[in-house]
């Protein structure tokens, strides 16, 4: 006999057969898709108690949303603290400008103005820099 099989079951699916479980509007959430699955699961648990087979019913996993508690300024400081992250940000921005899909949106005008200033300062700095 091989290793016991393990089936991954998501929320809203029958732990026995994996089909969707119809949910009622009120009351306790249904576990089984049908009376036959509920009855078969009972028989399997009963057989497992006597040692005939092994069955494990794992409770459902609850997923909750976690909101980040840092500000955009914290993100900026984290990027500026890392030359790798700063280079990646500039590469991504260059890609947006190269494609020119985003830059026509008026929301991006401050970004374009800042990039122009950065370009101007970078050119001035590179011309006066000893090589």
Asked whether residue 52 falls in the same domain as residue 18, the answer is: yes
| Residue whose pair of structure tokens reads 């992250």 in the numeric block | 85
Is the residue at 117 inside a domain?
A: yes
Burial of 55 (0-12, 13-18, 19+ CB in 10 A): middle
Is residue 19 within 8 A of residue 33, CB to CB? The reply is: yes
Q: What is the mean pLDDT of the chain?
A: 78
Where in the sequence is the domain holding 41, given as residue range(s)?
9-59
* 3-class DSSP state of 13: strand
**pLDDT of res. 59:** 65
Choice among 2-6, 74-78, 93-97, 112-116 with the minimum mean pLDDT: 2-6
**Span 79-103, pLDDT tens digits:** 999 999 998 988 888 877 767 665 6
Is the residue at 2 inside a domain?
A: no
Is the pLDDT confidence value at 122 over 80?
A: yes
CA angle 98, 104, 110 (to 5 degrees): 90
Q: How confident is the model at residue 4 (pLDDT cuts 50, 70, 90)?
A: very low
Domain count of the fold of the chain? 2
Is the residue at 73 inside a domain?
A: no
pTM of the model: 0.40
Is residue 70 within 8 A of residue 61, CB to CB? The reply is: no
């Amino acid at each position: 006999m091989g290793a016991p099989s393990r089936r991954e079951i998501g929320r809203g699916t029958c732990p026995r057969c994996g089909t969707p479980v119809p949910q009622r509007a009120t009351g306790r959430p249904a576990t089984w898709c049908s009376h036959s699955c509920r009855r078969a699961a009972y028989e399997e648990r009963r057989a497992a108690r006597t040692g005939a087979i092994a069955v494990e019913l794992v409770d459902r996993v609850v997923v909750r949303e976690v909101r980040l508690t840092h500000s955009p300024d914290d993100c900026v400081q984290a990027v500026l603290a890392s030359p790798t992250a700063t280079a990646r940000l500039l590469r991504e921005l260059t890609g947006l400008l190269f494609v020119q899909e985003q830059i026509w949106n008026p929301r991006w005008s401050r970004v374009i103005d800042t990039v122009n200033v950065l370009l101007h300062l970078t050119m001035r700095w590179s011309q006066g820099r000893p090589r």
